[in-house]
Structure 1
Amino acid sequence: MGGELEYGAGPSRVTEVPRVAVRPGYSVSRIIKGGWQLSGDHGAVKADQAVSDMVRFVDAGVTAFDCADIYSGVEDKIGRFRAGLRRAGGLDALDRIKVHTKYVPDRDSLARLTLRDVEAGIDRSLMRLGMDRLDLVQFHWWDYAVPGHVDAARHLGTLRDKGKIDLIGVTNFDTEHLAELCDTTDVASAQVQYSLLDRRASQDFAALARDRGVSLFAYGVLAGGFLTDAWLGRPDPGLDFENRSLVKYRLIIEEF
């Protein structure tokens, strides 16, 4: 670890960014800081630099952070950031921060997932993040052909009732299975890929979310950077990228 990082001391340093209500009493900055790129699976990551960047995002008014239990080391980095923020600004500074993590059970365990398994995963995230209650848990299910996603959602609801989770959301669910989960438990949000190149979620999925009171979080809105001036005038890169996410966005361009 490096030396002690400098943290914004109070609200006066924070730029105003529009906030949106996910549910009554729960709002987040309209821009959410993503965390997948901080996983070691996507290239070298310097922990001190990652935490320092989080400080700068908060000072710029971005006070919501997205992560996942399967993003190697990311929950720990956010936990370290939160601990430093509390030391610098106390609970008032910490209360301005929202962390949205994901519960992603192991693919091989889907068919035999129990409440005890789900609780162990949630407890692990609580420990890494240094939280008593998770703000929002976004649930992912690898394979709908394997039964169990409804029971897993019920288990998350049980943990919400126990006070370990505030809100439950989903990530990368389709319309049919989102409806199924909405019939099972209270789903606050759904995270979906959406951009000028990929508008699939704007049809039936968005209509269902509106009818059921589910807030939508869009990721990939700049198609991994392809919809920025960084690629203006550059030659076609083909599919030779450093991580699979860029390959995914490149394939979306092919389909557009």
Structure 2
Amino acid sequence: MIIPTRSFNDGYDIPQLGYGVFKVDPAETERAVSEALEIGYRHIDTAAIYGNEEGVGAAIASSGIPRDELFITTKLWNDRHDGDEPDAAIAESLDKLGLDHVDLYLVHWPTPARNNHVHAWEKLIGIRDRGLATSIGVSNFLVPHLDDIVSATGVTPAVDQIELHPAYQQREVTDWAAAHGVQVEAWGPLGQGKYDLFGTPAVAEAAAATGKTPAQVVLRWHLQKGNIVFPKSVHAERLRENIDVFDFELSDDQIAAIDAIDPGDGSGRVSAHPSELN
């Protein structure tokens, strides 16, 4: 299976669809990632705080897939921003993953109350320059946080990974990203089951018209919008369903109808706001 890629502003590419291991039990991670790799996924998104980097690493090691065919992301957690903690954190993550570098390293949250996101970003630049991460980016950064790090360093993130789904489209952030050549990764692309996307007429009608499931319709909406997605599941059947989204397209009218799901007042958000998590 050929999965399309998106190009970063640093010249590197990322598979547009991957497998996310948020809330995958560490005891199940090796099996789940191994199944994902067997099915055809090559982009794996993990994080230090998930506690399952070792399982990801074990699956990679046993897969037999050449390293240059894989794209691995991990993230710097909030309590590791200060001093030389980011250097220690990436070393720990690489050890757990069994890798000498990751393809993408992200500042997981901006932690505005601590006011240390610029320092964390400066440390990631050094991590990239030492070859421990090919590309660097951020996660959950809003426009003020993005402006802070770019104005302080002159280095623009390759990506901003944000909560994004039809009910919460974060257009201010996505507009900033488009203007600055930053790719958008959508975490919680299906609303994490907390927002009934599948029951909306726009999604249900598109599913009926295309013969696809509501989940496949929402993932296809992301892909046609240019978002990078990595839905999570521990079930092989669902892993196959989530990757089976490249043989159909949504019409302009179907895209517009799904666009209109967002109430526009932020009420579709299903997880923490960046100003709340420190």
TM-score normalized with structure 1 length: 0.70
CA distance in 2, matches of 1:62, 1:194: 21
CA distance in 1, matches of 2:269, 2:139: 22
Note if contact 2:163-2:188 (Cα within 8 Å) is conserved in structure 1: yes
1:122 partnered with 2:95: no
2:111 is aligned to 143
Alpha-carbon deviations, 1:185-229, whole Å to 9, x = none? 331000011111112x22x21121112211100111211134347
Structure 1 unpaired stretches of 5+: 1-14, 40-44, 233-250
Note if contact 2:78-2:111 (Cα within 8 Å) is conserved in structure 1: no
CA distance in 1, matches of 2:10, 2:112: 31
Match of 1:163 among 119, 131, 156: 131
- Give the superposed CA RMSD: 2.3
Report % sequence identity.
26
CA distance in 1, matches of 2:72, 2:125: 18
Structure 2 unpaired stretches of 5+: 205-266, 271-278
> Matches of residues 41-190 of structure 1 in structure 2 within 5 Å?
46-47=27-28, 50-72=29-51, 74-85=52-63, 88-89=64-65, 93-106=66-79, 113-114=82-83, 116-141=84-109, 143-183=111-151, 184=153, 185-190=155-160
Deviation at 1:31, TM superposition (A): 1.4
Deviating runs (4+, > 6 A) in structure 1? none
Deviation at 1:27, TM superposition (A): 2.2
Deviation at 1:52, TM superposition (A): 2.9
Deviation at 1:253, TM superposition (A): 7.4
Note if contact 2:42-2:69 (Cα within 8 Å) is conserved in structure 1: yes
Greater RCO, CA 8 A, separation 6+: 2
Higher deviation after alignment, 58-67 or 15-24: 15-24
Alpha-carbon deviations, 1:42-78, whole Å to 9, x = none? xxx543xx32332332233321111111111x11111
CA distance in 1, matches of 2:120, 2:15: 29
Note if contact 2:94-2:101 (Cα within 8 Å) is conserved in structure 1: yes
Deviation at 1:120, TM superposition (A): 0.4
- CA shift in 2, pair 1:154/1:218, >3 Å: same
2:16 is aligned to 30
CA distance in 2, matches of 1:194, 1:105: 21
Note if contact 2:107-2:139 (Cα within 8 Å) is conserved in structure 1: yes
SS of 1:37's partner is coil
Note if contact 1:79-1:128 (Cα within 8 Å) is conserved in structure 2: yes
CA distance in 2, matches of 1:35, 1:145: 28
CA distance in 2, matches of 1:25, 1:60: 28
Note if contact 2:10-2:158 (Cα within 8 Å) is conserved in structure 1: no
SS of 1:38's partner is coil
CA distance in 2, matches of 1:141, 1:253: 16
